[in-house]
Structure 1
Amino acid sequence: MVVPSWVWGLTIVGIVGLLLFDFFFHVRKAHVPTLKEAATWSALYVGIAVLFGVGVLVFGGSQAGGEYFAGYVTEKALSVDNLFVFLIIMASFRVPREDQQKVLLFGIVFALIARTGFIFLGAALINSFAWVFYLFGLILLLTAGNMLKPDGEESHSADNFIIRLAKKVFHTTEHYDGDKLFTLVDGKRAMTPMLLVMVAIGGTDILFALDSIPAIFGLTQDVFIVFTATAFSLLGLRQLYFLIDGLLDRLIYLSYGLAAILGFIGVKLMLHALHENNVPFINDGEPVSVVEISTAVSLSVIIGVLVVTVIASLVSRKGKAQTAIANARRHATAYLDAEYTTDAAERERIFNKLLAERDQILALGPKYRQMVRDEPALMELLERAAARHDGAVERGEAKTFDRKLT
């Protein structure tokens, strides 16, 4: 698809404009987005992405339109998976709820910059060396295999080498000072955890780019489509984080679905590499006659796998129990952390969430209630949260509830 330079310019200006609008009208003033706010703006950003795709379809043809939507859906799904890691990192750094928007927006901007660099690098490599398709295909197949391995929160630890080095080289503090990156401690300038968490988010963004860029190049080699599908999948990610907060852990089969999608795209890339082959030791450097997977088939497989994955996750009773337990642990920890939020309404919302998760666990029956009792640390955490809330009720800082958590 031939794209005039002025279209490139307008597209980039539009994307930058949306990011600036997001910062000045939503993120600049620290606050916790309401569900209505998150839902409205999430729908708006998805609508913008869809309208742009319709424009690609009208002006670029069905092939370009299909490639854009296949790339957008794939990148959006990978972005949702990235939110799991963002959640773990922000929990590790105890980022105050009101300031999480700023961290997420920084992550989105850094991801966009990093992925743009990888996009142009990937395009240059593909145009110069056909064997790069083999490399991208291998990366995706290995990534798909790694996604099938069981892992926990410790596999995404925020305490990486860069963070440890920063703590040794620079004077750091364990406490936040609003959303400031630096503060004064005993008259000395010190780095706050806000800067450290941004470094951690930025580092993970680079790793995410190594997976997502080969994935979308497996669906299209058109640089404009690759760039726009990637950019629009990232826009609105901040709002989506707050919209599906608490449901992330519910998608227990998402990693399997993404593994299937990345594996499928990896095979597609390998077939394309064989079709374009010029590697001397494969078929004497001549192209291999193989079946190539069309864009329509790719889009159908991607959407089909995601639909099955999401439905299977939502109907799973085990998934419901795991989600309720994980969220109860997270909300109890947040409620007990005095620095997590200074907003009384937000603290009340957290405790209400905790009660709802308690009720959900009770409703699932004895088998899943036992899962909670088998974790003494979680039981103790829930009781401490209940006792803290009782104290807030006595001081008139919170409403009275049936506090029996387990």
Structure 2
Amino acid sequence: MQDVSGVVWLLTVLGIIGLLLYDFFFHVRKAHIPSLREATRWTVVYVSIAVLFGVGVWIFGGSDMGAEYFAGYVTEKALSVDNLFVFLLLFSSFKVPRADQQKVLLVGIVVSLLARTGFIFLGSALINSFAWVFYLFGLILLITAGNLLRGHRDDDAPPDNFVIKLARRVLRTSDSYDGDKLFTVVDGRRVLTPMLLVMVAIGGTDILFALDSIPAIFGLTQNVYLVFTATAFSLLGLRQLYFLIDGLLDRLVYLSYGLAAILALIGVKLILHAMHENNVPFINGGEHIDVVEISTAMSLSLIIGILLVTVVASLLSPKGRAQTYVAAARRHATEFLDIETDPAYCDEIFHRLLVEEAHLKSLPEKYRARIRAEDELMALLGRAHRLHDERVANGTCFVPAGAPLAAKSPLKSAESRPGS
């Protein structure tokens, strides 16, 4: 299976295209908000497909290829979860209604898969032609790991890379959405909606992520078929995974450290491999260097171990719990005030906001004091409560059944604020 036949390639590509088409026509075409049960079910389905494919690789290609595939898949999946943080910020920045986020995600996944396929074949061609590329890839990963350790992500700032800036400048759009349509009519003129702009932002941002993820997976396997399939299966099901864990994303406070360790590990592995295969004239006279290389089995074990420690530490962290509640409360209040227009879903969002406020009040005093000091957050929550009271008075909104008693009083004073 080292030299995969054209028939196997064709069947694999057709299978991936079939899964994407099924996803579009049966889940995304009609805008709706996926339930937790739906998101869980389809996340399990896609992960199961990826695992079964890996078992097939293990059986028909041998244990080495099987380990390479699983190491690549786990790494790419972990990096894709990190990407979800940025998607969350983009949706908030562009004020995308919850029901329309599915289509944006699927388009972004397709664009990313096409772009990464191109990067994969380009990377393979470079590796086959120039052994020094391993040094370059290793350096890229070590630099990326350093950026993650320095905390490159600002949790409150939306991404604003050159792709988004260019899209904002070139694409003239209307001020409001028209469902999930790409075009609408304003004052008798056909114009673009913000939906196209956010699709470009998601797709373009995901392409930039490929600059890190492709070198990472080439550090685990140079088999183009395994690189392609591990990358593809890590992206498939990403839409469902987003709706499954978006409430937990802010809880993974140590994920960046875990990913930094993984990327540094793969970077070192690449450089060691480059030294072993060295033919660069100014390094050891162009002769190979006898160094110990990190095996694929060792890489897989370390990657899984690092991820487990990272996730468990994040979930047990009081800081992570506080960050999760604050981020969720801010997100629900923003959705209630500025994004969602469906009255039934607005009621649901407000009920979620009340739940998060109750969580905030259960935090230790030092975290509650910090929350009380966040004037912007307190003002946002106060606005949400006042708007809810106005809608109740007008008969356009109702206090959700089973809601906490605090639901009936707005946040007017420090004593009634979350965290007090």
CA distance 1:165–1:142, change in 2 (3 Å): closer
Render the CA deviation track for 1:315-354: whole Å, top value 9, x for unaligned.
00011011111111111111111xx233333222322221
- 1:212 maps to what in 2? 213
**Structure 1 gap ranges (5+):** none
Contact 1:77 1:258 in 2 (8 A): yes
**Structure 2 gap ranges (5+):** 408-415
Corresponding letter in the other structure for 2:262: I
Contact 1:38 1:242 in 2 (8 A): yes
Contact 1:89 1:156 in 2 (8 A): no
CA distance in 2, matches of 1:62, 1:163: 43
For the residue of structure 2 that corresponds to 1:287, the secondary structure is coil
Q: Percent of aligned positions with the same letter in both sequences?
A: 68
Q: Does 1:128 align with 2:129?
A: yes
Quick check: 161-170 or 258-267, which moved more?
161-170
1:129-144 matches, cutoff 5 A: 129-144=130-145
1:260-299 matches, cutoff 5 A: 260-299=261-300
CA distance in 2, matches of 1:310, 1:302: 12
Query: How many residue pairs get matched?
Result: 404
CA RMSD for the aligned pairs?
1.6
Contact 2:167 2:201 in 1 (8 A): no
- 1:150 maps to what in 2? 151
CA distance in 1, matches of 2:155, 2:359: 26
Contact 1:88 1:153 in 2 (8 A): no
- 1:342 maps to what in 2? 341
Contact 2:347 2:397 in 1 (8 A): no
For the residue of structure 2 that corresponds to 1:120, the secondary structure is helix
CA distance 1:115–1:170, change in 2 (3 Å): closer
Corresponding letter in the other structure for 2:380: L
- 1:84 maps to what in 2? 85
Render the CA deviation track for 1:101-138: whole Å, top value 9, x for unaligned.
00000111011001100000000110111000000000
- 2:392 maps to what in 1? 393
1:3-152 matches, cutoff 5 A: 3-152=4-153
1:158 positional shift: 4.2
1:300-315 matches, cutoff 5 A: 300-315=301-316
Contact 1:88 1:156 in 2 (8 A): yes
CA distance 1:156–1:115, change in 2 (3 Å): farther
- 2:197 maps to what in 1? 196
- 2:330 maps to what in 1? 329
For the residue of structure 2 that corresponds to 1:64, the secondary structure is helix
Corresponding letter in the other structure for 2:383: R
CA distance in 1, matches of 2:273, 2:304: 21
CA distance in 2, matches of 1:348, 1:174: 25
1:396 positional shift: 5.3
CA distance 1:163–1:137, change in 2 (3 Å): closer
For the residue of structure 2 that corresponds to 1:293, the secondary structure is coil
Corresponding letter in the other structure for 2:347: E
- 1:383 maps to what in 2? 382
Corresponding letter in the other structure for 2:356: E
1:168 positional shift: 4.2
CA distance 1:313–1:190, change in 2 (3 Å): same
Corresponding letter in the other structure for 1:384: R
CA distance in 1, matches of 2:330, 2:156: 18
Render the CA deviation track for 1:161-211: whole Å, top value 9, x for unaligned.
444444444532221111122222222232211111111112111211100
